[in-house]
Chain A
Amino acid sequence: MRPFTYTKTEDTAQATSKLAANENAKYLAGGTNLLDLMKEDVERPDELVDIGLLDLTDIKETSTGVSLGAMAKNTETANHPLVRKNFPMLSLAILAGASGQIRNMATNGGNPNQRTRCAYFFDTAMPCNKREPGTGCGALEGQNHMHAIFGWNENCVAVHPSDMCIALAALDATVTIADGNGKTRTIPFTEYHRLPGDQPERDNNLERGELITSIEIPKNNFAKNSYYVKVRDRSSYAFALISVGAGLELQGKTIKNARIAMGGVAHKPWRAYEAEQFLKGKEATEENFEAAADAEMANAKTLEHNAFKVPLGKQAMVRALNVALSGEKV
C-alpha cells in the first residue's frame, strides 16, 4: 500500500472540493472495495477523503418515490420498510450480494462505484486496459468464464459486479450527483455506468471530484410481481455468474409493462430491452417468457469460457419472470 494522507469531513462541499483539487484523491466510504484494491496496488490514491460523516444517510419517501442516501449502508437499505414494501427486488438483490459483514459496511454510494472483479484487473503483473490503458486486455483470450456476453469490445470484456445496481437499473432509478462547485445534477441509473468503448478505464460517467449524494427510485407498480435470481459458483458470498431482476405490471393475465435487468453479462447493469419490448402487451405465459429471453440472448457474443451464460441467462430470466408472476415473496 502506498503512503497516503487521510482526512475526514462532515461537509459535502468540502469533500468535493478536496477531490476537485487533487486528481489523485479518492473518497473513502465503507472501504470494502477501495482498501482491498489499495493493498493490491491497483488503486493508488495519495489522499483519502473519508466521507463517513457526511449527512447523507437518510432513506425517505419523496413526492415521486423513495430516496436512498449515498451513505446509508446496504444492510439498512435492504431491510428498510420503504424498500421492502415498494421495491422488494432491490432488497433481494442487495441481500444476494457479498456477506452480512460487508453489507454492514458497504454504502449505497460506494456500491455502484465498486470496480470489476476481473482477476487480470486485480493482478498488477497482468495486462489490463482498465487498470493501465494501452497494455491490452488480459481476459479477452485468457480465463474469461466470469466475463461479458453483451456490449463488450476487445478493449475490455469485464462485467460490472454489483447486484444492487441490477435492481436499480431495472427500477429506472436516477442518481443525484454533487460536483466540486456546489452544483448538482441528475442522471438516469441506466446511463450511470458505461460500456467499455475506447475508454475501458472509465466504469461510469462520474466526472472527477463528483460525489453521489443519493439515488432516487420512482414509484412503480412492480412490487407485487417482482423477483431477483442470482446464480453463482457457491451458494453465498460469490459474485454473480448471471443474475436477473424482473418485475411485471399485470392487467389480468396481460403484461402491461415488464422490467428486466441482468447482471454478470456486461460492463454495466444490462437492461433487457429486447425482452421487455417483446413482453409488453402479451400474456404472461412460460412460452412468452422463453421467447422474450431468446430475443434478448440472441444478441449475445460469447468468449472462450463463457458460452454457458447463454443457456443459463435464458433459464435464469425465465425463472425470474415465473417467480415474479407467481407473486411469491421468496
Chain B
Amino acid sequence: MAEITENMIKSKDNLGAPENRIEGFLKVTGKAKYAAEFSVPNVLYGFPVRSTIAAGTMTDIDTAEAEKAEGVVKVFTHKNAMKFNPAPDVESTNKMTMPKSVLNTTAINSFGQYIGFVVAETFEQARYAANLVKATYQETDPKIDFDKYVDTAYKPDNANGAATDTQRGSMEEGMSNASKTLDITYQTPIEVHNPMEPHATIAVFEGDALTVYDATQMLGPSKVAISNTFNIPQEKIRVLAPYIGGGFGSKLRAWDHVMLTIMAAKMLDKPVKTAITRQMMQTNAGLRQLNRQHMRIGTSTDGKLTAMSHEVMTHTAVDEVFVEQAGFITRTMYDTPNQLVTHRVFDTNIQVPTWMRAPGETPGSFALECTMDEMADQLQMDPIAFRIKNEPKTNPLDGKPFSSRSLVQCMQVGADKFGWSKRKQEPRQNTKDNWLVGYGMAAASRAAPYQESSSRVKLSYGDDGLEAVIEMAATDIGTGTYTIIAQTAANCLDIPVDRVAVNIGDSDLPATPGSGGSWGAGSFTSAVDAVCEKAKSALKNKITSDSSALTTADELMKAAKLTEFEMEATEGPSEDSKKYAHFSYGAHFVEVWVDEDLGMVKIPRVLSTSAVGTVLNQKTARSQVVGGIVWGIGQAMTEETTLDKRYGSYVTRTFADYHVPVNLDVGDIEVHFIPEEDEHINRMGVKGIGELGITSVAAAIANAIYNATGKRMRTLPITPAKLVDYEKQPVA
C-alpha cells in the first residue's frame, strides 16, 4: 500500500504526526481488557434464549429441564422476570436513553427475540441449558417480504432526526425543462455491523451501587438508559469500557442483553456476565435495513441540473420506528433548482434497524453517485466535470455557507494521482487477458457534527519532568482516541507524548458525547486543548512575577511554584460555528477487473482523497479511511443479510455466510488528505473522518464495473450471480 505524502498533511503545530497507538502494546500483548475479559469474583454466566419464530404469541415456555441441568442457577422468563415500567414512545432523541423492558411480554415481534435468560456457573452450562428451554407459540404470518408489505408504507415523523421530506421548486417543472432525464431505482440490502468483538456485559452490584463493564461506544447514554430502566440514581451507576473491539453504530445503545444481565445480577444478588454469540449479533444488536431508492434526474444539454429527486422506501420494526436518512446526502451535495427528497417506511417483523457507519450517506451515496455517473454517461461528459458544473455555493438545504468545502480539490487531486485521464469514456474498451478493466469514481460527503465535551487535566512531576494525565469519559472503539488525546495534550503542554497518560472509558470521568457520528476526534481533542489552555492561563494568574515570557506548562508550573495542578473544562460549538454548514468531503477512484464469464470482480486499487480539516494523526486517520474503504468494498461486493420470507429467520447466521471482505478482495489502497483549514467548526479545526471513508465507495466500484462491462449494477451486493445473470437483477 502506498504511503500518504507528508506534505499533504495539514498540521497544527506538531499535531498530525503518525504516532503509533499509545495503547498498541497492551492490545497486541493481550493486556488491554475488553468487557468480557474482566474477571470478577463469583461471577455467574448468562445466556439468552431466543424465539424460533418471528411473529405471534408465546403460549408457554417450559424451563423444567433447563433448571435441572448441571450448574444452572436460574432460568428467567416472562413468568419470573422483574416487572419493568412500560416503555415510553420512542423518539429520535430518546433512543439511547429510554428505559427498556425485557422478558415482560409474550408477544413475539422478530426472529431471535430474547424470551428467556439462563444463568449458570459456567458459560458452557448456560449455553447448554438454553437449548433445553422449550417454548410453544401461536404463530402469525410474519411480515418479512419487502415487496409484499411495501404497500403498507407510511410517512414517518422524521428520518433519524432529519426532515422526512424536503422539497424545493417543482420536480415536474424541472424534469419537463430538462433535455436529458433519467428515472432509476437502486437497492441496498440489509447489513449487520458485525464488529470483531461481540457485545458483552458484566453487571456487579455492591450494595445499591452498580458497576457495568460493557462493550459500548457511549458511556453516558448507557448509564442513563440503565438508570431509567432500573430506577437506579445515575450517580450510583458506573459504566466501564476501556477498550472496545469496534462498534460501527451497533454499540451506541444498550441492547436487551445489557438489561437482562443487570436484571439477573440484581435479582440473584451476584455478578453476572453475558457475552452474546455471533448468531445473536445478527438478530439482536441492530442492523441496517434494506433501502429501495428511486432517483429522478434532469439536466440541460450542457450538464446543469434542472431537477433531482431521491425517494427512499424502507422498513422498520413493528414495535419501534427507525428510518435512516438515506436521501439526506442528495439535499446537500449538488446545486439544483428543483428537488424532492422523501422517506417512507413500513412495519415488518424484522428487528429494529439502527445507526450504522455513516447512517444515511452509506446507502444514499450509492444511489446518488451512481445516478450522477449514469447521467454523465448520457451527457457524454466526464463525471468530474459534470459534478463541478453543479457545485453549490452554499448549502442547498439551508443556504448556510460551508465552513469548508474542498470537494473540487478532492476530485481534481484524486484524478491526477489516480491517472483518471487514461479512462475511456466508452465502456468495454479496456481489457487484460480474460479481464475487462474499468475505472470509476464517486464524490463523497459526510455531515461533520461537533458536540460539547468535557475533560480534566492533572499535572505533576515524574522522573523525567512534567507529566500529564487526561481524564474524560471518552471511548476508543479502535479509532485511535487514546493517541490523539495524548498528542493534543502533549502539543498544548509542550511535553513529549509519552509523558501523557490517558484515562478514558469510565463514566465517572468528565462527560463526553462518546464515539459516534464521526464527532469523537473533534469533540474530544477540542475539550483536551481547551482544558490544557485553561490550565495554563490559570497557572499564569497564580504567578506574581512577570510571566509574559513563560509559555510552556513546565515553565508556568515552576514559576507558580507548584508540583501538582488540576483543571477541568467543557468546550462546545461556538455561536460562530452555528452559522455554517459542516461537512467532510472526499473522492474515491477505483480500478476494477471483471471476469464476465465467471462473474468475478477484482479491485486491484482504490485511491481516495479526503478533506477533513486538521489531521490529528496521519496514521490513525489513514486507518479510518482505509477501514471505511474496505467496508465499502464489502458493501459493494459481498455483504448482505438474507432472511427467509416465510419464517423471518436469518439465512446468514455467521461469518461463514455473511461475507465480509477478506484480504484477497482488497487491493492497493492509497489515501491522500487534502490540506484544509476549517476555522469555524471547532478550535482544533477537526471534521469527521471515520464515516467519510465508506461513503460513496460502493458507487465508485459500481461505476467502474459499468466502465468495464457496460452493465449497470443497481442492486447491491454485486455478486457473481447478478453479474452472470444480469438480465434478472431484482430491481433495475
Contact = CB atoms under 8 A, between A and B. Distances in A.
Given A3-B128, A312-B720, A312-B725, 12 more contacts: A1-B127, A122-B653, A122-B654, A123-B650, A125-B52, A125-B53, A138-B644, A141-B646, A142-B645, A235-B664, A241-B721, A315-B724
For this complex, into which size category does the number of interface residues on chain A fall?
Answer: 35 or more
B179 to A, nearest CB: 38
Interface residues of B, number: 42
B644 A143 contact: yes
A287 interface: no
B120 to A, nearest CB: 13
A9 B598 CA distance: 46
A142 B662 contact: no
B659 A319 contact: no
B657 A119 contact: yes
A60 B527 CA distance: 69
Contacts of A235: 600, 602, 662, 664-665
* Pairs of residues from A and B, 8 with the lowest C-beta to C-beta distance, nearest first: A125-B52, A235-B664, A315-B597, A308-B725, A308-B721, A143-B651, A236-B664, A119-B651
A235 B592 CA distance: 14
Interface string B106-124: 0000010000000000001
A263 to B, nearest CB: 14
B663 interface: yes
A2 interface: yes
A164 B522 CA distance: 52
Interface string A162-202: 00000000000000000000000000000000000000000
Contacts of B131: 2, 41, 124
Contacts of B722: 308
A329 to B, nearest CB: 16
Contacts of B111: 125
Nearest to A313: B724
B156 interface: no
B642 to A, nearest CB: 5
Contacts of A319: 597-598
Contacts of A119: 650-653, 657
A126 B599 CA distance: 31
Contacts of A298: none
Given A231-B599, A234-B637, A319-B597, A145 B721 contact: yes
A233 B665 contact: no
A307 interface: yes
Contact of A311 (B653, B661, B725): B725
Contact of B653 (A2, A3, A123, A318): A123
B432 interface: no
Nearest to B725: A308
Interface of A: 1-3, 39, 41, 117, 119-120, 122-126, 138, 141-143, 145, 229, 231-239, 241, 307-308, 311-312, 315-316, 318-319
Chain B at the A interface: SS class: loop
B728 interface: yes
A123 B598 contact: no
Interface in B651-692: 651-654, 656-657, 659, 661-665
Contacts of B638: 233-234
Given A125-B52, A238-B659, A312 B646 contact: no
Contact of B124 (A1, A237, A307, A318): A1
B92 interface: no
B7 to A, nearest CB: 35
A142 B724 contact: no
Nearest to A309: B721
Nearest to B642: A143
A1 B128 contact: yes
A235 B653 CA distance: 20
A229 B598 CA distance: 9
B524 interface: no
Given A119-B657, A233-B638, A2 B128 contact: yes
